[in-house]
Amino acid sequence: MYYVIKKQHSTPLSTFIGFSVGKFIASKNSDNIIFEFQKDGKPLRKWVKKEDIILLTDNKEYYQKTLKHFSEIESTQKKLVEEAQAHLSKSIENFTETMHSEIDEYEELRDSSLIPYMLKY
């Protein structure tokens, strides 16, 4: 059995996937690796670009260790992104509140009789 970690380009939140295959075909002259799976008792082949393969090994322990390490990094990065989004939302909220209070203060001054008539318009 062989174990593969592959880059994912289609989903922005998950940047890799791991899977096992029974057999693969690779060539020096090709930019692809062909992985063979069994589905309903029939062989199914999928082509993957070599540059998208992060790990291809027959060592299950090393595969699991690497996959766990990547998952921990991904989890840490997601947490940092969530914290940054929360901070950004709070900053936008503070900005909005400040702008509304400034506009309200300006409107009070504009409507005030203390300002000469020419400055109102």
pTM for the predicted model, two decimal places: 0.64
Please, are residues 13 and 78 in contact by the beta-carbon 8 Å criterion? Answer: yes
Of 11-15, 43-47, 68-72, 106-110, which range is least confident? Answer: 11-15
Per DSSP, 50 falls in state G
Q: H/E element holding 91?
A: helix 60-110
In sign, the C-alpha dihedral spanning 11, 14, 19, 24 is: positive
For residues 114 and 80, the model is more confident at 80
Q: Give per-residue pLDDT as tens, 29-80.
A: 999 999 998 888 898 999 999 999 999 999 999 999 999 998 899 899 889 9
pLDDT at 113: 61
